[in-house]
Amino acid sequence: MSDQRIRVAPVSGTLGAEISGVDLSEISESSQTEPIRQALLDHGVIFFRNQKLTPDSVLAFARRFGRPEIHPIVEGTAEQPEIVRVLKPAGQSASFGVGWHSDNSFFESPSLGSVLYGVTLPPYGGDTLFASMERAYQALSEPMRVFLAGLRAVHSAARAYDPNRVGREKYDGDAPIKYRYTDAILEEVDHPVVRTHPETGRKSLYVNAMFTERILGMESGESDALLAFLYRHCAAPDFQCRFRWAPGSLAFWDNRCIQHYALDDYQSFERVMYRVTLAGDRPV
């Protein structure tokens, strides 16, 4: 495979690009991965169509860009614990990734990026929305950027995974995705509200409605009001792009500067996908 065939086409004026001219199962050299890595840094999220990948080859692709993680709560496959089989059965509502979030921001060192590959997709529905937190930060007024610069926010998995909040179905074997109850569910970690990307140096907002609990040092009313404002701001359509899935599609996004939202509008249909997340570093 020659990297000269790789073509990058933006999908919106804000973020996202579709990459063609590459067979992801054949990538083996740095000269082939570097254009893909650069496209990820330039566009925040990149998409590939018409790929023919097995779970093993999805994992092999992800390894070209970092170290795959084993999730402390969501169980991976028996053969490859780094791979999560994301199943949504027909006739049920989606329960995984529904709501704006950055994957695993409750980790002390949150995930660098995520790779998601579509195997069985509904004929319509089930799109994923992506939002640029760099653009969200840039759109704030200068006084607000100055105010946020020194703040830190507490992140936790409790809102998404605590059985006292979400019920025990996830842990009783009654959910389509397997979960394990661990101390990680209730642990808290704090990160800067504005983080600096370690590779590009660009600043992003780093709070999300799924995993951010509160702003350190603020009264609860102040914290709730500020976070509510930031959540609304981050979800503005001007910062978004939308991806329509099809079998053989793969999305690769940068959790350091991107949030995403899995739409739950395909209850009648089954969906099967494979996800791998890559280990990141402590936000600064």
Annotated catalytic sites, by residue?
A: 101, 103, 260, 275
Report which DSSP code applies to 256. T
Q: Which two tokens stand for residue 112?
A: 């660098």
Contact status, residue 84 vs residue 74, Cβ threshold 8 Å: yes
Distance (Å, whole) CA 261 – CA 160: 14
List the one residue out of 6, 18, 7 whose CA is nearest residue 242.
18
Q: Which residues contact 281 (CB under 8 A, 6 or more apart)?
A: 109, 112, 198
Alpha helices (H) in 118-243, listed in sequence order? 133-138, 142-148, 158-161, 163-166, 220-234
Q: Which residues contact 150 (CB under 8 A, 6 or more apart)?
A: none
In the block, residue with structure tokens 């170290």: 67
Residue 6 C-alpha from the chain's centroid: 24
In the block, residue with structure tokens 């995984």: 96
Contact status, residue 260 vs residue 131, Cβ threshold 8 Å: yes
Distance (Å, whole) CA 35 – CA 19: 10
